[in-house]
C-alpha cells in the first residue's frame, strides 16, 4: 500500500496542480489530510468502494477507520473513535460509504457531530449537502471546522462543443457500477507511467477526487451539461499525452445510463476498456435485472462513442477477480480473452496479461 501511495504521487502530482488551477481553487480540491474513514453501519462492501479506494491508493493519508452498530465491514485499518483519530493526527472524517440516492442518514449525525467535536473536518461525496442538515451546520460553526461536499461540480460548465481535442484519451466503461472502473483507470495510469508515458488520471467520482485531489463529480452535473463537464475534465493536451478517465455507471444501467453516456460523448475516447465482475449476474441494487454481456457494452459504446470520435476502439477487458483464487482468476481471464478476441486482465493482479492490455490500448 505504501508503494501504491508513492506511485499515486508520481502519477498525480502534475494533475493535482492543473486541476487546482482549472477549478479556480474550489473547496473540493483543498481537502485536509490525513483522514479517518467512516463506514457507518454498512455491511455490504459494494457500498464502501470509496473507503476501499482511498485505503488502497492513498494509504499514507489514512489514520484509521470508524464504524458503529453491527457492521462487520473492515478496511483492515486501525479502528478508532474520532477523538483517538484526532490524537493520531487525523484532520478530517471522510464518509467512505455510499447509498442509493446519496442521502446523509439521520443515524450518522451523532457520529459526525462527535467527529466535529473532536476537531475533525467532515468530507462527503454524497449528493445531499452536509450544510443542509441544520445540526451539522451548527456543529461545524461551533467547532470551527468545515463541511466539505466534494460532489459539488465546478460552476460555469459549458454545453459540450463536440470539438475534437488534441492528445489521447482512454475511458474505462463497465457492465455495472462499483466493479472496478476507477481501480482499472488508476492501475492503467500507473502502468502507462511505468512505461514513461505522459499520463493523467482524471477523476469523475468522489473517491477518485479524494485520491487525485481534483476532478469533476460527473454524476452530480445537470444532464444538459454532462458532456460539457467531460470535455472540461480532459482538455487539449500534447500529442503523446494520455488522459485516463475514470468511468461511471454503465451505458445499459437502468438508473445511471445518462451519466455514462454524457461522459462517453465528452471524453471522446480513442480507446476504452470494459470493466466486468464475472461473479456478478444481476445489476447491483436491481434484483431481477440481469447484467448486460460484455459484448453488448462494446456494441453500445462504439455505436454511441463513434459520434464524437470515429476512431474509438475497445482496447480490452478488465476483469475484477477478487472473488476468485489465483488459478480461477487466470482461467477466467484466459477464457474471457478467447471468447471476445480481446486482451483481458485483472489490473490489480498485474502480470503479462495486464501488460498485453496496456500494449493493446497503446497500439
The answer to whether 93 touches 114, Cβ cutoff 8 Å, is: no
Between 214 and 217, name the residue whose CB sits nearer to a second copy: 217
Binding of a second copy by 330 (CB under 8 A): no
CB of 300 to a second copy, least distance (A): 6
109, 127, 322, 349: residue in contact with a second copy (rule CB under 8 A): 127
Nearest to 301 by CA among 269, 279, 324: 269
CB-count burial class (<10 Å; 0-12, 13-18, 19+) for 131 = middle
Q: Does 295 engage in binding with a second copy (CB under 8 A)? A: no
User: SS3 of 43, please?
Assistant: coil
In the three-class reduction of DSSP (H, G, I as helix; E, B as strand; rest coil), residue 95 is classed as strand
| 13: nearest Cα among 146, 180, 211 | 211
* Grid cell listed for 322: 477478487
- Cell numbers standing for residue 300: 453500445
Q: Which stretch binds a second copy (CB under 8 A): 100-108, 110-118, 233-241, 318-326?
A: 100-108
Among 223, 279, 326, 339, binds a second copy (CB under 8 A): 223
Of residues 10, 107, 159, 311, which one binds a second copy by CB under 8 A?
A: 159
Single out the segment in contact with a second copy by CB under 8 A; choices: 76-84, 137-145, 252-260, 355-363. 252-260
Tell me which long-range contacts 325-332 makes (C-beta under 8 A, separation of at least 24). Answer: 332/278
Closest CA to 32 of 114, 139, 150, 136: 150
**Contact stretch for a second copy (CB under 8 A) within 4-12, 30-38, 98-106, 319-327:** 98-106
Stretch that binds a second copy, among 105-113, 129-137, 282-290, 326-334 (CB under 8 A): 282-290
Q: Where does this chain bind a second copy (CB under 8 A)? A: 100-102, 127, 158-162, 218-224, 226-228, 251-259, 261-262, 265, 283, 286, 289, 292, 296, 299-300, 303-304, 307-308
Amino acid at each position: 500500500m505504501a508503494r501504491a501511495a508513492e506511485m499515486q504521487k508520481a502519477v498525480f502530482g502534475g494533475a493535482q496542480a492543473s486541476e487546482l488551477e482549472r477549478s479556480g481553487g474550489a473547496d473540493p480540491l483543498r481537502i485536509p489530510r490525513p483522514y479517518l474513514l467512516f463506514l457507518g453501519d454498512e455491511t455490504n462492501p459494494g457500498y464502501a468502494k470509496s473507503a476501499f479506494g482511498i485505503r488502497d491508493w492513498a494509504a499514507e493519508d489514512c489514520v484509521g477507520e470508524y464504524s458503529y452498530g453491527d457492521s462487520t465491514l473492515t478496511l483492515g485499518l486501525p479502528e478508532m473513535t474520532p477523538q483517538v483519530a484526532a490524537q493520531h493526527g487525523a484532520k478530517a472524517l471522510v464518509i467512505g460509504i455510499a447509498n442509493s440516492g446519496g442521502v446523509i442518514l439521520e443515524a450518522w449525525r451523532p457520529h459526525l457531530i462527535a467527529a466535529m467535536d473532536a476537531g475533525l473536518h467532515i468530507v462527503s461525496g454524497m449528493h445531499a449537502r452536509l450544510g443542509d442538515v441544520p445540526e451539522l451546520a451548527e456543529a461545524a460553526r461551533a467547532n470551527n471546522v468545515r463541511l466539505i461536499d466534494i460532489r459539488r461540480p465546478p460552476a460555469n460548465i459549458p454545453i459540450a462543443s463536440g470539438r475534437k481535442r488534441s492528445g489521447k484519451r482512454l475511458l474505462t466503461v463497465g457492465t455495472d457500477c462499483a466493479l472496478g472502473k476507477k481501480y482499472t483507470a488508476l492501475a492503467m495510469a500507473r502502468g502507462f507511467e511505468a512505461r514513461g508515458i505522459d499520463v493523467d488520471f482524471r477523476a469523475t467520482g468522489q473517491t477518485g477526487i479524494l485520491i487525485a485531489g481534483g476532478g469533476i463529480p460527473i454524476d452530480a452535473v445537470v444532464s444538459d451539461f454532462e458532456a460539457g463537464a467531460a470535455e472540461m475534465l480532459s482538455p487539449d493536451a500534447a500529442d503523446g499525452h494520455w488522459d485516463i478517465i475514470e468511468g461511471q455507471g454503465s451505458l445499459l444501467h437502468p438508473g445511471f445510463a445518462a451519466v455514462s453516456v454524457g461522459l462517453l460523448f465528452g471524453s471522446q475516447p480513442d480507446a476504452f476498456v470494459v470493466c466486468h465482475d464475472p461473479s456478478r449476474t444481476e445489476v447491483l441494487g436491481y434484483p431481477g435485472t440481469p447484467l448486460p454481456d460484455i459484448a453488448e457494452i462494446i456494441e453500445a459504446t462504439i455505436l454511441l462513442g463513434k459520434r464524437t470520435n470515429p476512431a474509438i476502439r475497445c482496447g480490452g477487458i478488465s476483469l475484477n477477480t477478487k472473488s476468485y483464487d489465483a488459478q480461477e482468476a487466470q482461467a477466467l481471464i484466459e477464457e474471457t480473452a478467447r471468447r471476445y478476441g480481446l486482451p483481458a486482465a485483472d489490473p490489480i493482479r498485474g502480470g503479462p496479461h495486464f501488460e498485453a492490455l496496456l500494449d493493446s490500448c497503446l497500439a
